[in-house]
A and B are shown apart, each in its own frame.
Chain A
Amino acid sequence: MSSLTSLPSATDVASAWVLLDALTDPEIPVVSLRELGILRDVRAGDAGLEVVITPTYSGCPAMGQIEDDVKALLQAHGLQGHVVTQLAPAWTTDWMSETAKDKLRAYGIAPPHACASSGTGAASVVQFAARGAKPEVVNCPQCGSANTTETSHFGSTACKALYRCLACMEPFDYFKPY
């Protein structure tokens, strides 16, 4: 444990990583911030540990909660540190680990497709909504069927869309590519 006056040691950084690894998203409590790609780095800075996070959607209200959770966790374990918000490179759902995607599916949320393969996450600006473009197939996280339909582009949180499975008839959330 560091004292308030000394610079954080490599041990502090390592123990902070272990602690923060367990910290989950406030909205989706089955995946960790690290798995989601929100937690970018933990490093030793001049004023204690620097925990680097990157915002997801610009207006995501969970970001304030995430910062508070990180601070509270460090404090509870006697670690001196602060949160640094980093905008670039912009967060993308492509950073989400396969483990995280499996956990989302098990939780009932269809995980995001790769940005390059999806209509709206794609790099092309002008042509993304080309006429006759086939909507991407999102498999139902409950029964696995590909026979699903989008109810709404926007869901209960900024990062999700609403879908409905036409096979098992269950509604579900789709984590949109970003």
Chain B
Amino acid sequence: MNAPTEYLLHLADNALILGQRNAEWCGHGPILEEDIALSNNSLDLIGQARMLYQHAAETQGGGATEDTLAYFRDVPDFRNYTLCELPHTPLMSATAQGDRDFAMTMARNFLYSSLMVLVWDQLQNSKDAILAAIAAKSLKEVRYHLRHSRDWLVRLGDGTDESHAKAQAALDQLIPYTQEFWAVSPHEAAALANGTGIDMAALQNDWNQIVNEALQEATLKRPADGGFVPTGKQGIHSEHLGFVLAEMQSLARSHPQATW
């Protein structure tokens, strides 16, 4: 049994868009090792996205391919969490082209990886055998992403006054976006109902535990939940996704028949 296409696209789009964002550090990392680490992270995420798009394309049929799904859909078709598409800039940055903030990157990777270790672990039992196989592989990779981003969060939080302030500002900005994790969308409900998806609400306690333990170690404070709940996974995105897609899709759209 295949998972609903929209659900597969949700998982794939999360990986692709965050992979694209993290790839923005390629050639711009604060130190060589982190440049390589973030490129590796992107490679894993884009690899996961490819497997998921291939599966979604087969499920959807009608001539869809991994490339049509990644390069020829527009903003309202994307099903990623809004969290994944935000720029690496701090809250008060004047423009989206402001400086990349490493604390933002690490805080986001931490919040997303903390969720995905739980999601992929559960999806190993999906009734969709291909999704279960992809989950087993992705779990191995996201463990390394969590370890990497968690280490940095602790290092920045429990570091200098400046790194602490930047890490706290990043969390204050990003934590509210994680409310979207728990607001069940129709495609998540459909996937849960036919046994191919998972009950996200059941993961919330474990996720809180991972996050709170790391924040305590990092001497950071968790901001209160509340306020606007983002709706990216239902296709209603922030203003930032259009810019991500414009850059990511321009080559494929300029040369639609191109092959390597």
> Which residues of A are in contact with B by a Cβ distance under 8 Å?
55, 57-61, 87-92, 119-121, 125-126, 128-129, 131, 151-156, 158, 162, 176, 178
Contact = CB atoms under 8 A, between A and B. Distances in A.
Contacts of B221: none
Given A57-B43, A87-B130, A128 B48 contact: no
Interface string B216-242: 010000000000000000000000000
A121 B151 CA distance: 17
B141 A58 contact: yes
Interface in B135-149: 136-141, 143-144, 146-148
B140 A178 contact: yes
Q: Is the interface of A mostly helix, strand, loop or mixed?
A: loop
Contacts of B133: 87-88, 90
Contacts of B129: 88
A91 B133 CA distance: 10
B interface, size bucket = 35 or more
Contacts of A178: 140
B163 interface: no
A91 B144 CA distance: 16
A2 B158 CA distance: 66
B47 interface: yes
Contacts of A89: 136
A119 B140 CA distance: 11
B141 A153 contact: no
Contact of B141 (A57, A92, A129, A131): A57
Interface string B26-66: 00000001101101111111111011000000000000000
A158 B145 CA distance: 12
Contacts, number: 95
Contacts of B99: none
Interface string B109-145: 0000000011001000000011011101111110110
A162 B46 contact: no
A128 B140 CA distance: 12
A58 B48 CA distance: 6
B209 interface: yes
Contacts of A128: 143, 147
Nearest to A89: B136
A128 B217 CA distance: 15
A129 B50 contact: no
7 contacts: A55-B137, A58-B51, A59-B46, A87-B133, A88-B129, A125-B121, A128-B143
Contacts of A57: 43-44, 47, 141
Given A88-B132, A126-B209, A162-B33, A154 B148 contact: yes
B210 interface: yes
| CB-CB nearest 3 A-B residue pairs | A59-B47, A58-B47, A59-B43
Given A57-B47, A58-B141, A59-B43, A152 B37 contact: yes
